[in-house]
Amino acid sequence: MIRKTFLFLTLICLSHSASAQIQTNAGVQYLQNMAKDMSTDFYDLSNTYFIADSLSDWNAAGAKGTVNWKRYRLSPRQAFNLNGYWPVRMQMLDFPDTQYDNDPDLGIKIEFIDERTVRIRMLTTPITPKNDDDIDPMLSDEFKTVLKGGNLQASNHGWKVTENKNAIVYKSETGTVEVQRYPWRLILRDKSGKILTQTRSIIDNDSTQVKLLPFSFIKRGADNSRSVNPVFLLSPGERLYGCGESFTSLNKVGQKVHLYVTDPQGPETDGMYKPVPFYFSNRGYGIFMHTSAPVTCDFGASYIGAQRLFMGDEEMDFFVFFGQPKEILDAYTNVTGKSPMLPLWTFGTWMSRITYFSQQEGLEIARQLRANRIPSDVIHFDTGWFGVDWQCDYEFAKDRFPDPVGMLKTMRKDGFHTCLWQLPYFTPKNRYFKEIVDNNMHVRNAMGGLPYEDAVLDLSNPVTIKWYQDKIGHLIDQGVAAIKCDFGEAAPFNGLYASGQTGFYEHNLYPLRYNMALWNAVKQHSGEGVIWARSAWAGSQRFPLHWGGDAATNDIGMLGDLRGGLSFGLSGFSFWSHDMGGFVTASPEDIYRRWLPFGFFSSHTRAHGAPPTEPWLISKSFTDAFRASAEMKYKLMPYVYAQAKDCSNRGLPMVRALLVEFPDDPGAWQVEDEYMFGEQILVAPLLETGNSRTCYLPRGKWIDYQTGKVYEGGYQTIEAGKIPCVILVRDGSLIPHVPVAQSTDKIDWSKVELKAYKADAKTCHGLLFTPGDKDVRNVSQ
- Catalytic residue ranges: 486, 489, 550
End-to-end Cα distance, the chain: 78
Which three-class secondary structure state does DSSP give residue 425?
strand
CA angle 229, 232, 234 (to 5 degrees): 135
Residue 611 burial (CB count, 10 A): 12
Q: Which residues of 379-388 are buried (b: 16+ CB within 10 A; e: fewer)?
A: bbbbbbbbee
Q: Are 615 and 717 in contact (CB under 8 A)?
A: no
CA angle 223, 224, 225 (to 5 degrees): 90
For residue 713, give every residue at least 6 positions away whose Cβ sits within 8 Å of its Cβ, in sequence order, or none.
697, 698, 699, 700, 701, 702
Taking the C-alpha atoms of residue 380 and residue 605, their distance in angstroms, rounded to an integer, is: 12
Q: Which residue, 691, 693, 695, is CA-closest to 674?
A: 695
Q: Which residue, 550, 555, 551, 654, is CA-closest to 600?
A: 654
Q: Are 562 and 549 in contact (CB under 8 A)?
A: no
Phi, psi of 322 (to 5 degrees): -115, 140
The β-bridge relationship of strands 531-533 and 482-485 is parallel
For residue 587, give every residue at least 6 positions away whose Cβ sits within 8 Å of its Cβ, in sequence order, or none.
553, 581, 595, 609, 610, 613
Torsion sign over Cα 572, 575, 579, 584: negative
Taking the C-alpha atoms of residue 435 and residue 308, their distance in angstroms, rounded to an integer, is: 46
Which three-class secondary structure state does DSSP give residue 142?
helix
- Strands of 295-299's sheet, edge to edge? 231-233, 306-311, 295-299, 255-259
For residue 447, give every residue at least 6 positions away whose Cβ sits within 8 Å of its Cβ, in sequence order, or none.
none
Taking the C-alpha atoms of residue 748 and residue 3, their distance in angstroms, rounded to an integer, is: 68
Taking the C-alpha atoms of residue 388 and residue 390, their distance in angstroms, rounded to an integer, is: 6
- Please state at what angle helix 462-478 crosses helix 404-413, rounded to 10 degrees: 60
Q: Which residue, 404, 228, 435, is CA-closest to 316?
A: 228
Name the DSSP class of 133.
G
Output the CA torsion 5→8→14→18 (10° steps). -140
Amino acid type, 330: D
Tell me the Cα Rg of the chain: 27
Q: How far is CA 492 from CA 233, 259, 445, 601, in A?
A: 35, 16, 8, 37
Task: Tell me, letter by letter, the H, E, C secondary structure of 484-544.
Answer: EECCCCCCCCCCECCCCCEHHHHHHHHHHHHHHHHHHHHHHHHCCCCEEECCCCCCHHHCC
Taking the C-alpha atoms of residue 597 and residue 618, their distance in angstroms, rounded to an integer, is: 17
Which three-class secondary structure state does DSSP give residue 716?
strand
Taking the C-alpha atoms of residue 123 and residue 146, their distance in angstroms, rounded to an integer, is: 23
Give the length of the chain. Answer: 781
Which three-class secondary structure state does DSSP give residue 474?
helix
Which three-class secondary structure state does DSSP give residue 349?
strand
Q: Are 228 and 234 in contact (CB under 8 A)?
A: no
